[in-house]
Structure 1
Amino acid sequence: MFDHFVWSVVAVPVALVVVIALLADRLPPARAARVLAWSAAGTALASVLNVAAFAVVAAAEIPVIAGYFGWSYQTVIADTEQVRWVPWLCVVLLVWAAVAAGRVVRRHGGGRAWAAGLAAAEAHDGVVMVRSSAVDAFAVPGRPGQVVVTTGMRKILTDRQYEALLAHERAHLAQGHPLLVLLSDLAGAVQPALWWVSGRVGYLSERAADEQAAAVVGDRTVVAGAIGTVALAAHGRPPLQDVRFASFARPRRPGAIPRRVAALLGHQNAGGRAWPAVIPAVLAVSSLIWTGEALYDLVELLVLAHDALH
């Protein structure tokens, strides 16, 4: 089982980060966001299942637990004799993953509950206008989804820029970006090697929404101008107070705004080849398959440990 651990918990997550760093900018942003989020989620799931399998092995090494289930703890210990540290490390990693995943779920759930209540009370044509001097806007997933905009945001935008803003936020809803962000956040939480992927998915989601907004408005310079205007106006000003709960309102990453503007003005990444997306997907699938073998090996070990006492 140790080879499965090395492949799925160590090698594939690191390889996925390297592949994403090399290929993400070569894919259309909408496709890249989907592939990266799902690949990271699959890789993280494989990693957690491997860790959980070894945590079961650790439990089976305890005489009291092994006796309760009718296993020979000596048989289990003999199987992991060369890597006795791995099962107990996996117990720690599993607890870490559970706590981290719980925090992400609570953060996303709390933000959505707050925003959904606000939207239900004040939505007009799918848009909720919040009275605040903060410069903020974000999409609230749901059925139907809503767009939350502060009066401070509306005040600084021209009508065309405001149209671009709404198109941008509606693109987040139409393309399922809140789910992709949640998946990547969970992946980064339970598998620290994938933490960087979470921020990358957030950036690519913004780029995909920029491209959709440019298609709706019909003028890429309007979208670029709106992004620049918002960035300048928001600089040094606190965000909407309750957005601290709304994790789907992505944090502003240094350097992201100039890159988004440059991509719009330079017509970058609107297209791109699709085939490189296969590489991260293959890595994730291979890790899941390898994990399936690890779980099979675990069952065989426990059957062997059971037979040793009967």
Structure 2
Amino acid sequence: MFDHFIWEVVVCPAAIAVTARYLADRMRPQAALTFLVAAIAAAAAACLVTLIAFALKAAAELPVTGELFHFSDRYVRADTAQVPWVSWLSVAMLALAAAGLVRAWARHRRDVRFARRYTDLPVTDGLVLLDDDRAEAFAVPGGDGRIVVTTGMRAALDDTQYAALLAHERAHLTGRHHRLVLIARLSAAVHPAFRRLTRRIDYLVERAADERAATELDDRRAVAHAIGAAALVSVGATGLRMAPSASDLRRAGAVPRRVASLLTPLRTWSPLPLVVPVAVAVFSLAWTAECVWDLGELLAAAHP
């Protein structure tokens, strides 16, 4: 069974992590987001099931388990006699994965509680205008969804920038981006190879919303200016009424990359590279099914 551990716990997650990092900036954002999250989730599920299978094997290696269920624990241990550590390493990794999943779910529940603070506020056409001097804007999923914008943000943007901001936030709601982010975070909790990908997924979520807003308004430059302006006022700049300078944009983290992408004409792209992570994920799932089958055969053969 050791080959299953190597493929499903080491090779496949690493391969998907590498290809995801490579493809993130080379594909249309929405397509890359959807396919990469699906591939990551499938690989994480395969890894989790494999760890459970090896944890069960670790339990079956104990003499007390053999006596209880009337099979040979020595026969079970012999299957991985050359690598006796693999079963118990899997137990430790499974415990870490379980703890990570609990933390990720607790964070999700905190986000849900935060969102509920805005569900009872007056809403007009899906918009809640919050009387607050801070410059903030965000989408609140749940039900029909709603967009929350503070008066501070509204005052800092002109009408064109404000329309672009609303289109961006609507794109988050219609694209169900909160679900994709949750899936990515749960997957990252299972395997460390996926943890550094969460930032890429967050970036792709924003890029997908940018492109959808640009399509809705039919004005990529307006969306680019709105992104830069909103980023600057949210970190303390006020009264911005024009496109931010390059030096200003450098203060806003990933914003320069998003703005640069919107100011660059869309290029034709081929979906073929996305086949690689998807194929690896499908292989991982199929090989995991084989792992579970092998465990069943091993335990059956261990009975006298």
Normalised by the length of structure 1, the TM-score is 0.88
Which amino acid in the other structure matches residue 51 of structure 1? Answer: L
How far apart are the structure 1 equivalents of 2:132 and 2:187? Answer: 34
Question: Whose RCO is larger (CA < 8 A, sep 6+)?
Answer: 1
Structure 1 partner of 2:20? 20
Change (3 A) 1:62 1:133: farther
Unaligned runs of 5+ in 1: 238-252
Structure 1 partner of 2:228? 228
How far apart are the structure 1 equivalents of 2:260 and 2:189? Answer: 31
Which amino acid in the other structure matches residue 58 of structure 2? Answer: A
Structure 2 partner of 1:301? 298
Count of aligned pairs: 291
Structure 1 residue 290 corresponds to structure 2 residue 269: no
Change (3 A) 1:236 1:91: farther
How far apart are the structure 1 equivalents of 2:129 and 2:100? Answer: 33
Structure 2 partner of 1:267? 265
Normalised by the length of structure 2, the TM-score is 0.90
Q: Once the 2 structures are TM-superposed, how far is the Cα of residue 119 of structure 1 from its aligned partner? A: 2.0
Which amino acid in the other structure matches residue 68 of structure 2? Answer: Y
Q: Once the 2 structures are TM-superposed, how far is the Cα of residue 17 of structure 1 from its aligned partner? A: 1.7
Structure 2 partner of 1:243? none
Which amino acid in the other structure matches residue 259 of structure 1? Answer: R
Question: Identity over the aligned pairs, expressed in percent?
Answer: 47
SS in structure 2 of the partner of residue 118 of structure 1: coil
Change (3 A) 1:155 1:68: farther
Q: Once the 2 structures are TM-superposed, how far is the Cα of residue 136 of structure 1 from its aligned partner? A: 2.1
Structure 2 partner of 1:248? none
Which amino acid in the other structure matches residue 68 of structure 1? Answer: L
Which amino acid in the other structure matches residue 162 of structure 1? Answer: Y
Structure 1 residue 209 corresponds to structure 2 residue 209: yes
Structure 2 partner of 1:257? 255
How far apart are the structure 2 equivalents of 1:138 and 1:64? Answer: 56
Q: Once the 2 structures are TM-superposed, how far is the Cα of residue 303 of structure 1 from its aligned partner? A: 1.2
Q: Once the 2 structures are TM-superposed, how far is the Cα of residue 268 of structure 1 from its aligned partner? A: 4.1
Q: Once the 2 structures are TM-superposed, how far is the Cα of residue 263 of structure 1 from its aligned partner? A: 0.5
Unaligned runs of 5+ in 2: 238-250
Higher helix fraction (1 or 2) = 1
- Could you say what the CA RMSD is over the residues aligned between the two structures, in angstroms? 1.8
